[in-house]
Amino acid sequence: MGEFKVHRVRFFNYVPSGIRCVAYNNQSNRLAVSRTDGTVEIYNLSANYFQEKFFPGHESRATEALCWAKGQRLFSAGLNGEIIEYDLQALNIKYAMDAFGGPIWSMAASPSGSQLLVGCEDGSVKLFQITPGKIQFERNFDRQKSRILSLSWRPSGTHIAAGSIDYISVFDVKSGSAIHKMLVDRQYMGVSKRKCIIWGVAFLSDGTVISVDSAGKVQFWDSATGTLVKNHLIANADVQSIAVSDQEDSFVVGTAEGTVFHFQLVSVTSNSSEKQWVRTKPFQHHTHDVRAVAHSPTALISGGTDTHLVIRPLMEKVEVKNYDAALRKITFPHRRLISCSKKKQLLLFQFAHHLELWQLGSTVATGKFLVPGKNGDTLPLSKDADHLLHLKTKGPENIICSCISPCGSWIAYSTASRFFLYRLSYERDNISLQRVSKMPAFLRSALQILFSEDSAKLFVASNQGSLHIIRLLEGSFKHLHTFQPQSGTVESMCLLAVSPDGNWLAASGTSAGVHVYNVKNLKLHCTVPAYNFPVTALAIAPSTNNLVIAHSDQQVFEYSIPDKQYTEWSRTIQKQGFHHLWLQRDTPITHISFHLKRPMHILLHDAYMFCIIDKSLPLPNDKTLLYNPLPPKNESDVIRRRTAHAFKISKIYKPLLFMDLLDERTLVAVERPLDDIIAQLPPPIKKKKFGT
Amino acid sequence: MVQLRPRVSRTPASASAMVDEGQPASEEEAEHGLLLGQPSSGAAAEPLQDDEEGDSEFDEDEAPEELTFASAQAEAREEERRVRETVRRDKALLKEKRKRREELFIEQKKRKLLPDTVLEKLTTAPQTTIKKSPGKLKEVILQKKNEECEKGSDSKKTKEKVQKVQSVGHNKSYLAVRLKDQDLRDSRQEAAKAFIQNCLYGPGTNRTTVNKFLSLDNKRLPVKKAAAQFLNNAWGTQRKQNAKRFKRRWMVRRMKTSKN
């Protein structure tokens, strides 16, 4: 290992956007999450809650509703009045259909999955038929006076409850007419000037309609008679979301104060058959409004303005009480947003609509007259970090991916419809940028961009499954080759890795194994066998050309490309198994890098730790101490720890967004403290605490 | 014998008063005076003095002028005809004027419209079903719109949008869209965003700053800490700018004096 100087970077002003809608799909155990900037992310809950796919956002697409329909089809609707269907295979938008009702506030798929109901700004409820290729407008229901903010189907598909402002309507699906109009009190036991907004409705199969509104009430209505059955006041602020489980014995509501309440149907006395709804558990995992909740068979999922996605497994539903039953909070992205140019010590930060280029600061070199600092010392900066470039993207679309070449003279980024390549030149103190025009159209919507080590080639993985190789010349480019996907599959290549000598290119898709291509011959060399968990990070070691793959279940494999088989070390560790604490980590490994002079070291990091794996040392078994929380006490302690086992883990820098080895003695760690993110969120509800 | 003064023929109530609705020509009015209280002609309208003069001219023995009924009738008819003629002429003139103005407007309007060829193409373009262009997120289906129109949906926008998008010309690399529709759509979207902003963060909602929210924890700790303060980089920007400018000028002055 040795000693390193670490650049601790905290000027990456990354603020994720708040979560607006959440939709759970039972068959595939996947969660679709849409954010306020229009991004839709798909999390695979069975693959250790890993974000496997995402659709980049768009400025005009403010999604207000998200739902799954029959056959794994995902639809979203927003304030621009359009219903959008997403293509989960090709990772793009299939089509956007205008509903002609003005902004769309709510959407619900029928229990059979073949019809889609949409509630619009002008008060109309529109029914669409889901055909194999498209959706088709069927008819309008009776038009209501104010905007329809929430919709729910009865499980039998015969009735619909629509929540609006100050009232709830119950429609009959066959005739399309409103049967009941239930007026909601503006305030629990009182009058108020503020209108009561029904944020969510849920229709149960026995005819009960549950509504949550902005006065903080949860109300139970009987849809047959149109009367109020029960009234609960649970919060002083709005209750903004509701989700019912499939068995209809429990539901979850989220409030604007950040509390999530769990209601369950329990019997009145222990042996009676009569049941009633009781508020059982409150959970306070959020600080801001909880705008979306979902109920999976075993867990409660909530997301809101504070950008965390919280998955809380319910203890009574979980079979095995192991680490799987713990709370999961997903805050940091599962992809890399930062790229680094090692030669020039530059960092490129990717935001939603712009890129920032920073030059790292430097400190006075420690010569032989200066005493080298002790472990943990902070060295003063002689030259501050410099913000060199702020590059704004044109157009309303978000940036999907970006990269800077290792020599620091090329920047490339891609949005959903265009690809941009810039040439940078440094003259003394100035930096000038020149755009390479007329990029070919097949490069757009790239999921991953990578430059080769000598910055002569550009590798682009597009969402159609093809890999493009572009040769970079002085002011222009030349398209060298395209690797097409295997016949029959349209699988997007999400991650790329190139070997430092430039011979090998590894690409991983969402399900098939990792493909390794020979760049010199432009042919497929071999394929690493598929593993049932998605790949989270890929890298190729410099001299040995070993491909190191990290999966979302925290397994790390090492595959030798020239030999076309797993290495000895990889087989050993698979046989022994990883330490149980290693496997219980929450966040996926997002970056792997290597030391040039020490081929036995692998450096990898996730959001809360970074680790150097020394392959020459023995592997830890379950009984050894994996983490060393305290710094070493004395010299013998250091030596003992150095030779104890192979996994050297440090949790000093967290939360880490990026960590890399700049040269032999320097590391760069980009941190993003949670407080800095919270400082830039919208205002939360005021809470009055005794004594303040 | 009673002496009868010579009587000037009194014209009957003017035809124009009965024929004309609202536009008596100014000369007529002046001529006829039309107010019932003031007979415009006749013996009563003349001053008394004239009577005296008239009286002295003629002898008392002379008989009054004989006025046959026929002549009076002829005169009256003559007068009527004249009046009617003037009315008709005036009307015709007005009509001419209006017609000329209309034509002028039509001419101007025609100049503003697109050339005929383009208009023809617009009206006769085929009803396209689905138009899907790569990278374009907005799709419009004309069939569906027609269906909606038939079903009589209430949303006003459908009627406007029927002619919204039709391909013009042979190259389909662009779409012609009415700007008015786009503005309407944008304004509706803005209104919706304003509504939700008002609901969640507007007056009446109990919101506080993040600063205060995070400070609550600090105040409840066993060892009370200060409130969380976030750096306000926007404070005193004008002052900082002035200071920077002053420093630059001072440096320049220093350089000049040090050189001399």
Check residues B208 and B175 and name the one with the higher pLDDT.
B208
Domain assignment present for B242: no
B205 touching chain A per CB within 8 A? yes
On chain A, the residues whose CB falls within 8 A of the CB of B232 are none
pLDDT in tens, B111-155: 887 667 666 776 765 544 344 444 333 334 343 444 444 444 333
Domain assignment present for B107: yes
A124:B154 CB<8 A: yes
On chain A, the residues whose CB falls within 8 A of the CB of B129 are none
Domain assignment present for B109: yes
Domain assignment present for B101: yes
Q: What pLDDT score does B28 carry? A: 47
pLDDT-derived band of residue A571, with 50, 70 and 90 as boundaries?
Answer: very high
Q: Burial of B58 by CB count in 10 Å (0-12 exposed, 13-18 middle, 19+ buried)?
A: middle
Mutate: best of B188, B193, B214, B229, partner A, most A CBs <10 A: B188
Tell me the pLDDT of chain A averaged across its residues: 89
Calculate mean pLDDT across residues A311-337: 86
A102:B148 CB<8 A: no
Structural domain boundaries, residue B82 = 71-122
Nearest residue, CB atoms, B188 vs list A102, A124, A692: A102
Q: What's the CA gap between A413 and A505, in Å, rounded? A: 20
Q: What pLDDT score does A386 carry? A: 86
Residue A122 Cα, gap to closest chain B Cα (Å): 7
B144:A136 CB<8 A: yes
Closest chain A residue to B145, measured at CA: A100
Count of Cβ atoms closer than 10 Å to residue A589 Cβ = 25
Mutate: best of B181, B193, B206, partner A, most A CBs <10 A: B206
Q: What pLDDT score does B232 carry? A: 72
On chain B, the residues whose CB falls within 8 A of the CB of A143 are 154
On chain B, the residues whose CB falls within 8 A of the CB of A103 are 188-189, 192
A40-49 CB burial, b ≥16 within 10 A, e <16: bbbbbbebbb
B210 touching chain A per CB within 8 A? yes
Greatest C-alpha distance within chain A: 90
Domain assignment present for B105: yes
Q: What's the CA gap between A402 and A56, in Å, rounded? A: 13
pLDDT in tens, A238-281: 999 999 999 999 999 999 999 999 999 999 888 888 899 999 99
Domain assignment present for B94: yes
Measuring CA to CA, which residue among A642, A573, A582, A652 is closest to residue A610?
A652
pTM for the full model? 0.77
Q: What's the CA gap between A580 and A550, in Å, rounded? A: 16
Q: What pLDDT score does B152 carry? A: 40
A96:B132 CB<8 A: no
φ, ψ of residue B219 in degrees (nearest 5): -75, -20
A122:B214 CB<8 A: no
Asked if the model's pLDDT at residue A645 lies above 70, the reply is yes
Measuring CA to CA, which residue among A184, A191, A190 is closest to residue A212?
A184
A679:B230 CB<8 A: yes
B131 touching chain A per CB within 8 A? no
Torsion-angle region of B214 (φ positive above 0: left; ψ -120 to 50: alpha; else: beta): alpha
On chain A, the residues whose CB falls within 8 A of the CB of B213 are 287, 683-684, 686-687
Q: Which amino acid belongs to residue A654?
A: K
Domain assignment present for B260: no
On chain B, the residues whose CB falls within 8 A of the CB of A136 are 144
Closest chain A residue to B219, measured at CA: A692
B153:A100 CB<8 A: yes
Nearest residue, CB atoms, B155 vs list A101, A139, A256: A101
Residue A72 Cα, gap to closest chain B Cα (Å): 21
Count of Cβ atoms closer than 10 Å to residue A529 Cβ = 10
- Structure tokens belonging to residue A410: 């090329």
B112 touching chain A per CB within 8 A? no
Domain assignment present for B91: yes
As a residue count, chain A comes to: 692
On chain B, the residues whose CB falls within 8 A of the CB of A58 are 137
Nearest residue, CB atoms, B206 vs list A84, A102, A237: A237
On chain A, the residues whose CB falls within 8 A of the CB of B230 are 679
Pairing outcome for strands A666-671 and A5-9: parallel
Number of independent structural domains in chain B: 1
On chain B, the residues whose CB falls within 8 A of the CB of A197 are 199
pLDDT-derived band of residue A208, with 50, 70 and 90 as boundaries?
Answer: very high
Q: What pLDDT score does B37 carry? A: 45
pLDDT in tens, A101-147: 889 999 999 999 899 999 999 999 999 999 998 999 999 999 999 99
Closest chain B residue to A147, measured at CA: B192
B144:A137 CB<8 A: yes
Q: What pLDDT score does A488 carry? A: 56
On chain A, the residues whose CB falls within 8 A of the CB of B145 are 100
pLDDT-derived band of residue A517, with 50, 70 and 90 as boundaries?
Answer: very high
Measuring CA to CA, which residue among A19, A20, A131, A124 is closest to residue A69?
A131
pLDDT in tens, A334-391: 999 999 999 989 999 999 999 999 999 888 755 434 455 566 677 778 888 888 889 9
Check residues A69 and B6 and name the one with the higher pLDDT.
A69
pLDDT in tens, A596-631: 888 899 999 999 999 999 998 888 877 777 777 666
Q: What's the CA gap between A408 and A340, in Å, rounded? A: 9
Residues A537, A497: contact at Cβ < 8 Å? no
Percent of chain A predicted with pLDDT > 70 = 95
On chain A, the residues whose CB falls within 8 A of the CB of B151 are 139-140
Measuring CA to CA, which residue among A49, A157, A1, A65 is closest to residue A661?
A1
Closest chain A residue to B197, measured at CA: A682
B142-167 CB burial, b ≥16 within 10 A, e <16: bebbebbeeeebebebbeebeebbbb
Of A21-30, A460-469, A568-577, the one with minimum mean pLDDT is A460-469
